[in-house]
């Protein structure tokens, strides 16, 4: 992805996975480049902006309307009195390819294995995303599911933190985790929630069935709407006085137990 570069009369600097400028961004979308999300300066209008919005909608790309200050923070402040060349729009190239939950289920079945999915609800730290991705790949998770909004981006920093594992695992980015979990349950996937209330120790849970494990944000935990959908809550037994483990460490411990049970 880093080699993608566009030269136009209004040349927009690209930094790693970022595209600046209206025409370069529109060319990238219509040219089939995978775009994670788009930032558009609040209040912008015009033909090019309309085309960007339309192309984004057709390709399922999320748009955030933000103050110009945010655009400039991402693009870098103007230097030597020159205006920043972002033209009020910034696009983030996807660093990974995204799949559907159905793709992941078929992938597991093709390997003659019971599906194992990991769902992240509100995990916003890129280093945690990276560390979780690394553990997921190591312990045989078939797919990692993250929400379109309210989650850390799969960006170069996250991929670096995962030691490249995020490029080796199937990742699903879903508009609604509630809808996705209902879909999984309808297809015979048992959903476990990593939560303390009414939870059983992970050694007592049966992970040998097709299953998905939900990990919540640190502090907030799993949202109530998703927790109500979980078939069973699980917890890691601990002896110390520390209240909880880091979410990435918790994921690794739980996934090790899954792998141990599955042999």
* Domain ranges, ordered by start, for the chain: 18-93, 101-262
Q: What is the pLDDT of residue 220?
A: 86
CATH of range 101-262; options 3.40.50.300, 3.40.1400.10, 3.40.50.620, 3.40.1280.10 = 3.40.1280.10
Taking the chain (263 residues) in consecutive chunks of 10 residues, what is each chunk's mean pLDDT? 35 60 92 89 93 91 90 68 72 90 97 98 95 97 93 88 95 95 98 92 98 92 96 95 91 98 94
- Beta bridge partners, 38, equal 63, 91
pLDDT for res 16: 57
Q: Spell out the CATH class of 18-93.
A: alpha beta
Nearest to 85 by CA among 8, 166, 27, 189: 8
Token code pair at residue 3: 């080699």
d(CA 11, CA 9): 6
List, edge to edge, every strand of the sheet that includes 89-93: 18-20, 89-93, 35-41, 62-66
Output the pLDDT for position 148: 85
pLDDT at 233: 97
Q: How many CB atoms lie within 10 A of CB 51?
A: 16
**What pLDDT, on the 0 to 100 scale, is given for residue 242?**
87
């Amino acid at each position: 992805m880093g080699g993608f570069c566009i030269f136009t009369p209004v040349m927009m600097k690209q930094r790693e996975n970022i595209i600046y400028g209206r025409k370069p961004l529109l060319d990238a979308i219509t040219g089939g480049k995978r775009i994670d999300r788009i930032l558009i300066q609040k209040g912008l209008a015009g033909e090019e902006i309309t085309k960007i919005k339309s192309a984004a909608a057709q390709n399922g790309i999320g748009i955030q309307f933000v103050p110009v200050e945010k655009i400039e923070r991402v693009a870098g402040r103007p230097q030597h009195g020159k205006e920043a060349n972002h033209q009020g729009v910034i696009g983030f190239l996807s660093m990974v390819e995204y799949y559907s939950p159905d793709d992941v289920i078929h992938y597991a079945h093709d390997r003659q294995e019971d599906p194992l999915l990991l769902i992240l609800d509100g995990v916003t730290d890129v280093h945690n995303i990276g560390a979780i991705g690394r553990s997921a790949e190591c312990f045989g998770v078939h797919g990692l599911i993250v929400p379109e909004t309210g989650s850390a981006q799969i960006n170069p920093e996250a991929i670096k933190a995962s030691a490249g594992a995020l490029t080796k695992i199937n990742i699903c980015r879903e508009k609604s985790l509630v809808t996705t979990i209902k879909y999984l349950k309808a297809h015979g996937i048992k959903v476990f929630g990593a939560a303390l209330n009414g939870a059983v120790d992970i050694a007592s849970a049966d992970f040998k069935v097709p299953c998905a494990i939900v990990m919540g944000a640190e502090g907030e935990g799993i949202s109530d709407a998703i927790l109500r959908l979980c078939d069973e809550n699980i917890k890691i037994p601990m002896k110390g006085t520390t209240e909880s483990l880091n979410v990435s460490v918790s994921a690794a411990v739980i996934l090790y137990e899954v792998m141990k049970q599955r042999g």
